A and B are shown apart, each in its own frame.
Chain A
Amino acid sequence: SYELTQPPSVSVSPGQTARITCSGDALAKLYACWYQQKPGQAPVLVIYKDNERPSGIPERFSGSSSGTTVTLTISGVQAEDEADYYCQSADSSGTSVVFGGGTKLTVL
């Protein structure tokens, strides 16, 4: 079955830039989005259509796409950004929604 691959963990110091990648063959032709999930809470959409930011999401969150990899960038990381981040797209046929395995962002 189709998979989206994320690193299990990323660590950064406050004020630095965090980059979380998501890889999948179909990402070269399909949009991806990103969710932030804090413990005990529902996921929150932070990026959609590769690089669009929903209203209310801080400007420090941005997305980009290159070939089969999409990247979530968090500039000037704050302690409150510590969370699990999931990418999501569709499978290679475009029919099914697929989530990446998630990346735990630790703010040192």
Chain B
Amino acid sequence: QLQLQESGPGLVKPSETLSLTCTVSGGSIRSSSYNWGWIRQPPGKGLEWIGSIYYSGSASYNPSLRSRVTISVETSKNQFSLKLTSVTAADTAVYYCARDVGRRAIYDSSGAHFDYWGQGTLVTVSS
């Protein structure tokens, strides 16, 4: 059974960088059939896609966050990571990692959906 687990600081100061890691177990991140994504959910609000990455390192991002986001992959550790720079209170959210399937290519989100999710981790931006 595939499992994903987010890890990282639960509190980040404004203007600093949010860094999270997702560890995948029960399957290989190197599979050519899958991509890996980050989604966030501010308290009491809806879901927002942050971006997705293929094991080769190719990534696609939400245009509204692209200037501040980097997603990377570490295949030797079966992990992928999220960095979000210059955070503000608006970035306070539960951050989920998930397996992204159904795409034809990393830059083509048509058909994409997320079939396995981590439990999520709350990141609060506050001084």
A positions within 8 Å CB-CB of B? 1, 30-31, 33, 35, 41-45, 48-49, 54, 86, 88-91, 94-102
- Do A31 and B102 have beta carbons less than 8 Å apart? yes
Provide the bound-state CA to CA distance between A89 and B111, in Å.
7
Complex CA gap A49/B112 in Å reads: 9
Interface size on B, residues (CB 8 A): 26
Chain A residue nearest in CB terms to B49: A97
Residues of B within 8 A of A89 (CB): 110
| Chain A nearest Cβ from B81, distance in angstroms | 19
Taking Cβ atoms with an 8 Å cutoff, the residues of B that contact A are: 37, 39, 46-49, 52, 60, 62-64, 96, 102, 107-115, 117-120
Q: Which residue of B has the minimal Cβ distance to A94? A: B110
Q: Are A102 and B46 in contact (CB under 8 A)?
A: yes
Nearest CB on B from A73, distance (A): 18
Q: In the bound complex, do residue B108 and residue A95 qualify as a contact, i.e. CB atoms below 8 Å apart? A: yes
The complex places the Cα of A84 from the Cα of B69 at a distance, in Å, of 28
Given A91-B109, A96-B109: A45 and B115 interface contact (C-beta under 8 Å)? yes
Query: What are 10 inter-chain pairs, A to B, with CB distance below 8 A?
Result: A31-B113, A35-B114, A43-B47, A43-B96, A88-B114, A95-B108, A96-B62, A96-B63, A100-B46, A102-B47
Neighbouring B residues of A101 by C-beta, 8 Å: 46
Q: Are B46 and A86 in contact (CB under 8 A)?
A: yes
Q: Which residues of A contact B120 (CB under 8 A)?
A: 42
> Which residues of the other chain, A, contact B60 by a CB distance below 8 angstroms?
95-96
